[in-house]
Structure 1
Amino acid sequence: MTTDQDTDLQLSDRQSAIKQLVEKTGFATVAELASLYSVTTQTIRRDVNALCDAGHLARFHGGVGLPSSIENEDYTDRRASFSDAKEKIGALVAEIVPNRASLFLNIGTTTEAVAAALQDHRQLSVVTNSLHVAGTLSDQDGFEVMVAGGRVRTGDGGIVGEAAIEFLQGFRLDFGIIGISGIDRDGALLDFDYREVRAAQAIIENARQVILVADHNKFGRAAMAKVGGLDLVDILVTDCPPPDEFLPALREAGVRVVHP
């Protein structure tokens, strides 16, 4: 039987170093790796192909990232899971966001619940990389809804890729409302898809206030890609008090916690 250790032994020193680097950083471009190891991009691509074929890493546009070895649930299942909790979160966010505000909403079933709760607001300007969010809000009178360009992901209607990230970086808005797949005990914000992570990072960087929306199931849930830490968040909106073991990280980061 072949073990993970046996597979690692088949890697070259450079391939092992690339694997360790990406496990630490979450993503690296081919150009960055070629410069770091003083080899051609063609050589790095061969290394990347070997690592991806072995299941250690995953190819993304322009580079390599972590594989989704802990797979997210199917979109239909995610939308049905904890729907009551997501509705509560949406209602709380609607109380925070005033009329005539500008905001980002990223991909996710919780941000979709937020969009549904915002339909009675007036004169909102919304920038999103989610077709479902855009569909919910685009028919509202007085709303301006702008959608990122790029490849539409099947299933959840998310728009990912470099074009989407560049689009999001072109705004400076009042609120950045982001969903997440998991929150680690040390305060790390986690997700499954590095392309989605980069979009969330663009939103965080260009929002005056960041609102993290996460139901109780997200606390302690594992995912492979790191968005950042709780220090990037101004307000956490959730459906019940966070577990005690997460309170130190929340206090240290100065996050305001809102729940029913």
Structure 2
Amino acid sequence: MKQTQRHDAIVELVKKQGYVSTEELVEQFAVSPQTIRRDLNDLADQNLIMRHHGGAALPSSSVNTPWHDRKATQTAEKERIAQKVASQIPNGATLFIDIGTTPEAVAHALLNHSNLRVVTNNLNVANTLKVKEDFRIILAGGELRSRDGGIIGEATLDFISQFRLDFGILGISGIDGDGSLLEFDYHEVRTKRAIIENSRCVMLVVDHSKFGRNAMVNLGSISLVDQVYTDMMPPAGVMQVIAENNVQLELC
């Protein structure tokens, strides 16, 4: 079994059982304890599992992975997603761009566009797009979250609610097996809901590592969005919700 296949199988076992021991994984995959320990360290680095002495469990649902770590993972997948999204946005469009490393990748992919009007609560997005003199960048007010450049709070919510824009580029921290969109911060969830409510077309941008990932705050069903851009086929339960609600799926 290839390493990537073994990684996927380990994650599925952890999701199913809640906890697996190193000894159990050694027996299951017929590899050395050193190989399994390397596997678990790699998966823990991606926040797909939580490493414990002697085994692994589901990752914490209360604390997100640091922004710099998220920025450095799934970079090729995020770039493909971003390029596909950018190809669907016409020059002169108006759009929200959300907090998150995949929405930030979309911002980079839009630099060849012209005359865009962008509302964002993401300081990194504003810094990326400010080089475009023909873009109009509107930065939301509120509390700056220094760890990732996100702007959140009541003022942010009120600000975003003033607009009605063509596209909403939405990121998410996790997607449960029933299609629930999950986040770590209640304030961020409220802002995302405002983006959904005030966008004519909501584009969810998410790489495959977010499927099955836990977070403690439920934003609502994936049926709230119009389009899902991802790099791999979602799990069966999520696909069922997508199909039943006529959500457009784009594999990148």
Amino acid at match of 1:126: V
Q: 2:130 is matched with which residue?
A: 138
Gap runs ≥5 in structure 2: 1-59
Which residue among 227, 240, 248 is the counterpart of 1:235? 227
4+ runs of 1 displaced by more than 4 Å? none
Q: 1:122 is matched with which residue?
A: 114
Deviations 1:217-251 (A, max 9, x none): 01111111111112211000011222334211111
Give 1:70 shift.
3.0
**Aligned-pair RMSD on alpha carbons?**
1.1
The secondary structure found in structure 1 opposite 2:62 is coil
Gap runs ≥5 in structure 1: 1-67
Amino acid at match of 2:103: T
| Alignment size in residue pairs | 193
Give 1:69 shift.
4.7
* Aligned counterparts of 2:143 and 2:190: Cα–Cα separation in 1: 15
Amino acid at match of 2:153: G
Which residue among 204, 210, 213 is the counterpart of 2:205? 213
Q: 2:86 is matched with which residue?
A: 94
* Aligned counterparts of 1:246 and 1:207: Cα–Cα separation in 2: 23
- Pairwise mapping of residues 1-260 of structure 1 onto structure 2 (< 5 A)? 69-260=61-252
Does the 8 Å CA contact 2:142/2:153 hold for their aligned counterparts? Answer: yes
Does the 8 Å CA contact 2:177/2:235 hold for their aligned counterparts? Answer: no
Give 1:187 shift.
1.3
TM-score, normalised to structure 1, is: 0.72
Deviations 1:108-149 (A, max 9, x none): 001000000001001100000000001101111310000000
TM-score, normalised to structure 2, is: 0.75
The secondary structure found in structure 2 opposite 1:257 is strand
* Aligned counterparts of 2:239 and 2:142: Cα–Cα separation in 1: 38
Identity of aligned residues (%): 52
